Structure 1
């Protein structure tokens, strides 16, 4: 169960697979009760077959890694959904809730061997909430790396919950907005760092600020880090 599986998450579509509708698109498993559910619907005129697997999700520097883990299970794992029918998936935590910070997982739903050529895998985020009196929340710090020719935006999340980052923009010293990433940029897991390459600018990024929509809320400034952000912060997931 400890063999490492590295997956290019950009190749996994976090939406609905062809002929398969999924709701919700993100799952949180509370400390109590230790389970959550989602629904798969097949609106097509033919059966949909496939499988569901759960992997521990880690961010190691600028890499995304999925690792086999037995803390969570999904039921059923083998799927066959008749035309026009729905299937409930249950995600169940087998051990204790995380003690301090949220833990990230990915639920990967793959079509069966008999699927059409354009059918695709789906990767959904799953989060284990810690045993804590307050709901987990993110706390981001931003820094620049990579130099003028290959700038890199690095975000470190020292909160106890994941950060959901969307619609990233740079506001220069004159107040002009420059769109960098439209829509979902990605997630930063607790106690983890993630980087995004930025387009080179003749005047660089000094004197401006980065803004984004965080955790499904309104646009806000990304606060600057006091010092350098390490590629892989200690105490990560």
Structure 2
């Protein structure tokens, strides 16, 4: 039986499940506490062997950090991370002096494949602040920061996001389906294109013309040739029938997610 209404996500929902002390996309670089990381997204063009990641320490004491790279997939309609040697961080552990910044290179040590990749390859660079193990320890609860930086190796002939610009996305490669189960909106999006799609500012547009925001900020990515599912707790009713919409790849306006054929 079809539910008579949808409910808006409650404020307790983060919509993604990867928060904890992890910081995702910021405006031009990630900043929290004394450790700052930039840029927030890395892209490797077809023949590019290395990329630069900058770590900056704004504290009055040294900061130690570890940098790791993991392969990122969505083969189960959820984010899956596995160790990878395709990309490596150099150096992998750093100490940043007070007020200084450190260059970390994300490199491709292996020879590039002779056959062009059909789909964009996705990875995440994890930057973990390491606890200080010497000297007096401050009282109270202490937090170590963790940053998660998306990294994409572009398929042959693809343009970077900076080259494409912020324009409405051709949504022909997207197939969305959604359903309501109890107090949960389940949104499933398949991406048949060869590059990722970033979704933010999720909303709901009813057939009567009403548009209601569902989640502010980043919802997440649907990687190339894969599908992703989100479960959003709902709190208030939304009018039916209607369709979800979102900003895609930071386009200036939200776009309706095209429904999958039934």
| TM-score, structure 2 normalization | 0.76
Q: CA deviation at 1:226?
A: 1.2
Q: CA deviation at 1:113?
A: 2.6
Residues 1:173 and 2:202 aligned together: no
Residues 1:125 and 2:125 aligned together: no
Q: Which residue of 1 aligns with 2:222?
A: 188
Residues 1:221 and 2:239 aligned together: no
Mean CA deviation greater in 207-216 or 66-75:
207-216
Q: Which has the higher contact order (CA 8 A, sep 6+)?
A: 2
Q: Deviations over 1:128-178 (max 9, x none)?
A: 112x22337883221114546543111111111111111000011211112
SS at structure 1 position matched to 2:74: strand
The unaligned stretches of length 5 or more in structure 2 are 1-16, 25-29, 161-168
CA distance in 2, matches of 1:202, 1:23: 38
Match of 1:157 among 160, 170, 191: 191
Residues 1:77 and 2:95 aligned together: no
Q: Deviations over 1:73-132 (max 9, x none)?
A: 1111011010111111111123325611111111011111318712221111111112x2
SS at structure 2 position matched to 1:41: strand
CA distance in 2, matches of 1:168, 1:202: 15
Alpha-carbon distance change, 202 to 189 in structure 1, aligned in 2, over 3 angstroms: same
Match of 1:104 among 122, 127, 133: 122
CA distance in 2, matches of 1:46, 1:111: 13
Structure possessing the higher radius of gyration over alpha carbons: 2
SS at structure 2 position matched to 1:101: coil
Residues 1:13 and 2:36 aligned together: no
After superposition, residues 27-38 of structure 1 pair within 5 angstroms as: 27-38=42-53
CA distance in 1, matches of 2:52, 2:82: 22
SS at structure 2 position matched to 1:151: strand
Tell whether the 8 Å contact from 1:156 to 1:188 is kept in structure 2 after alignment: yes
SS at structure 2 position matched to 1:183: strand
